[in-house]
Amino acid sequence: MDMSQPQGITDNLDSEPQETAEWIASLQSVLETAGPARARFLLSKLSTAAREAGLQWRDARNTPYINTIRVSDEPPYPGGSDALALEEKLAGIMRWNALAMVVKTNRAYGELGGHIASYASAADLFEVGFHHFFHARSAEHAGDLIYFQAHSAPGIYARAFLEGRLSSDDLTYYRQELSAKKQQAQGLSSYPHPWLMPDFWQFPTGSMGLGPISAIYQARFLRYLEHRQLLTTQSRTVWGVFGDGEMDEPESLAALSMAAREKLDNLVFVINCNLQRLDGPVRGNGHIVDELETLFDGAGWNVIKLLWGSDWDPLFARDQNGELVEALNTTVDGQLQTFAANDGAFNREHFFGQTAAMQAIGATLTDEEIDRLKRGGHDLRKIYAAYHAAANHKGKPTVILAQTKKGFGMGTAGQGKMTTHQQKKLERQDLLDFRDRFQLPLTDEQAENLSFYKPDADSPEMRHLLQKRAALGGFVPQRIDPQLSLAVPAIEQYAQFACDADGKEMSTTMALVRMLGGLLKDASFGKHVVPIVADEARTFGMANLFRQVGIYSAQGQLYEPEDIGSILYYREAKDGQILEEGITEAGAIASWTAAATSYSVNSLPMLPFYIYYSMFGFQRVGDLIWAAADQRARGFLIGATSGRTTLGGEGLQHQDGSSHLMSAAIPNCISYDPAYAYELAVIVQDGMQRMLQNHEDVFYYITVTNENEAQPSMPANSKNGILRGMHCVAAHEKAEVRLLASGPMLKEAIAAAQLLKDLFNIHAAVWSVTSYSQLARDGIACERAQRVQQSDALPWITQELQTSNSPVIAVSDYVRAVPESVRAFVPSRFVTLGTDGFGRSDTRANLRDYFEVDAKWIAYTAMAEIYANKKSAEDMHAIAKKCGVDLQQSLAMVG
């Protein structure tokens, strides 16, 4: 007998039904007489015996295509059938107002877009949450944290309208934030954007996949605060409602096992399985629900399938030989979509018509009743049961796979249609049908005109709505900034060594880590600091922090670390402070965002420093950083081992020449590329003050390098220039050339100035450019002020350079576009040097020669500018040779 063929998973043939029935009866009898624990024990013994017999059998990860929660386990609905009826009515009103808002907007301006079908499928999932589960922040409860499926935003606005938080004028300005402002109305952003609606939205979810990973790390960060005894968070739940199509994003699934490993039972995902995405079915030829069940179950989550409404219960009760369930098991999603798009008669023929037994089940219903059979995600009673089970499940995060119909209730105009995602225009008859479908008290004219509908304030449904929210502490979503300040330590306290470095050798990474260590030691401030790494702490010399503040682990340390004997041993602790995320930049940045928004989410300001390989930041997880910016994050991103020529041997994929270009495009990201430890100290101090004391919604990106250098002490009066983007480090009244350089290139510029003096008796002045992007922003702002406000404000860079006409050479270890960004504000001839192209593995010296950014190239470039068009080619070759530059070889390299 071939026992290698896995049996029992795909093979549904039952050759011995009698024998099968006996086995099942035995199991049932054990269950009845000895209980579930004994039944589980026996099954697991059987499984072991099967494996020992070489059967290679394992239980299928999938359960049948029916609800996980049995009817007998459903809790009573709070408020009974009266509440149920009111809530169904309210859901219909939300649906209408959401639809009216989108269609109205698109009648006026066809270009504005918006979605109807997604919310139509999610409305009931949201409503049960709003009525019974989603706690607002109040005196009794710190508030649940809810990540809303972004393109269902119209429904959240529709609810806020009924709650009295938005006016009908506001709804009229959906997706018209600019026009709204002119009319003193509140513009409604397309998707959840805290930047645009700072009192309303908490979490940006518009970019698919970012919501799920962010929700997971948010839940974990609550635990971190709890375990560090900074906050009591136990009653708070993180809810995330996401699309089934969205689960294909790698970020959506990336952190599932972490959530289970950390036992995040404060986390509930609700996946709106309407089986469709934008273009068509999510898994036309399979079951997305089953696929997700396998993935979540395999990762260790509690999985609840919520597939069929209460009106299916009597049908399943009649399904004596399992043919109905078997049909559901084998009907693929593409077909289920077709069933959703067609009427009762079609479903009778094509679904219930499959076998005689099913025909008989179908015969108990009229066509109208078949048409109205609900999927689980549209049945408030079933949804409540699933949420109740999820909220009470201990030890694991829960996912509810809620099956719905896309465009539910949109009838032939949209329900289950392939094109429903983008539908935003409805004909007269479709509107009337929708009104009738949800029994809305609107006249034909009102329906046709898309009038918003709000029941009287003292109507039972309005009273119910407001009572329910009052019982849960108020309205959600709601975002606050309590403006809590932290006393920032004085710079002398943690960075004296950097300000008075006096030529001591160190890299800026070493300086940063030492400052961090100092900040962590501060008796009152230190506990707010959150060091985050993605498995590179040793690379950045941070191993000493392992011992100093410990690595956070919910379980503490269950083993004796190999290096227990060393002073810097690998110390994990339940109250550990470092978030060591492992090799997941996406996870680490999601952690950083949770910490960087704690001032708002938890009314507890925290200060995260996420230190990472700079190349694996903006390039790798730029969209998550963009979302953090939207969310008004406050914290430090530290791009370490930065600079295309400074990282040396690591080569093309590691050498970062572009992060400063990308960070400059994020409006509230303040970027610096400092050369010296004292500059770094001034920047960190300024950042802490702006973020933690002035409550500015900015975050800092600072690049640091691993190149050791002699660090000078801080010159007097340099602070203003450091923060504004440039300060002079070598002045010369008669400078014939001015050299600007950032980060590691500064020492090359200083060496170039020396070369010019030694070789040609040419005088150069040198500036340290701490931030080309801040100089450029200032330049653009001044230029606009001159144009629009007739101001005479001069950009800082112009002020610094306007005293002479001598040429200016600007150097950066990033692509030339970075220094190029200040060209318009330089009042003389201007040349940029940068590191465009792919990186290479070699020594710093060879790389800087190759990219033509080292001292000799800067000196040669200066000479070429000073002698522009005044010297012959031969003379220039001779000058180059004197500088040590080989023009012939460089041309060959570039070629």
Give me the residues that bind ligand TPP (CB under 6 A), please.
118, 121, 151, 206-209, 243-246, 272, 274, 276-278, 282, 406, 421
Nearest partner of 617 among 709, 740, 699, judged by Cα = 699
Long-range own/partner contacts, residues 160-167 (CB < 8 A, 24 or more apart): 160/200, 160/475, 161/97, 161/452, 161/454, 162/90, 162/93, 162/94, 162/97, 162/454, 162/462, 162/465, 163/465, 163/466, 163/469, 163/475, 165/200, 165/475
Closest CB 125 distance from ligand TPP, rounded Å: 10
Q: Are 91 and 465 in contact (CB under 8 A)?
A: no
* Closer by beta carbon to ligand TPP, 150 or else 755: 150
The least CB distance from residue 748 to ligand TPP, in Å, is: 40
The smaller minimum CB distance to ligand TPP, of residues 71 and 278, is found at 278
CB of 469 to ligand TPP, least distance (A): 25
> Can you tell me the distance from the alpha carbon of 617 to that of 839, in angstroms, rounded to the nearest whole number?
17
Whole-number minimum distance, CB 297 to ligand TPP, in Å? 21
Question: Cβ(725)–Cβ(751) under 8 Å?
Answer: no
Nearer to ligand TPP (CB atom), residue 278 or residue 876: 278
> CB 144 → ligand TPP: shortest distance, Å?
21
* Cα–Cα distance for residue pair 336/330, rounded to 1 Å: 10
Residue 800, Cα to own-chain centre: how many angstroms? 40
Q: How far is the CB of 724 from ligand TPP (least distance, A)?
A: 36
CA separation for the pair 504, 511 (Å, rounded): 11
- Using the minimum distance from each CB to ligand TPP, give the nearer residue, 153 or 476: 153
Please, what is the minimum distance in Å from the beta carbon of residue 406 to ligand TPP? Answer: 5
**Bridge partners, 552 (sequence order):** 573
Smallest distance, ligand TPP to C-beta of residue 204, A? 11
User: What one-character DSSP code corresponds to residue 133?
Assistant: I
Complex with ligand TPP: residue 409 or 648, whichever CB lies closer: 409
> CB-wise, 207 or 539, nearer to ligand TPP?
207
Please report the DSSP string for 369-420 in residue order. Answer: HHHHPPBGGG-HHHHHHHHHHHHH--SS-EEEEEE--TTTT-GGGTTT-TTG
Quick one: tokens of 842? Answer: 């070699």
Cα–Cα nearest to 533, from 583, 569, 607: 583
| Residue of closest CB approach to ligand TPP | 243
* Distance of alpha carbon 746 from alpha carbon 767, whole angstroms: 8
Task: Report the residue number, 291 or 696, with the smaller CB distance to ligand TPP.
Answer: 291
Cβ distance to ligand TPP smaller for residue 144 or 244:
244
We find the least distance from the C-beta atom of residue 420 to ligand TPP, in angstroms, to be 9
Q: Minimum distance between the CB of residue 276 and ligand TPP, rounded to whole angstroms?
A: 5
CA dihedral 226, 230, 234, 235 (to 10 degrees): -150
| 551 vs 628 by CB, closer to ligand TPP | 628
CB of 246 to ligand TPP, least distance (A): 4
Beta bridge partners of 399: 269, 303
The nearer residue to ligand TPP, 209 or 635, going by C-beta atoms, is 209
- Residue 97 backbone dihedrals phi, psi, to 5 degrees: -60, -40
Token pair, residue 18, equals: 């009698």
- Quick one: 274 or 548, whose CB is closer to ligand TPP? 274
H or E stretch at 305: strand 302-306
Which tokens go with 655? 């050498």
Q: In Å, what is the CA distance from 807 to each residue of 269, 667, 834?
A: 60, 31, 17
Q: What is the CA radius of gyration of the chain?
A: 32
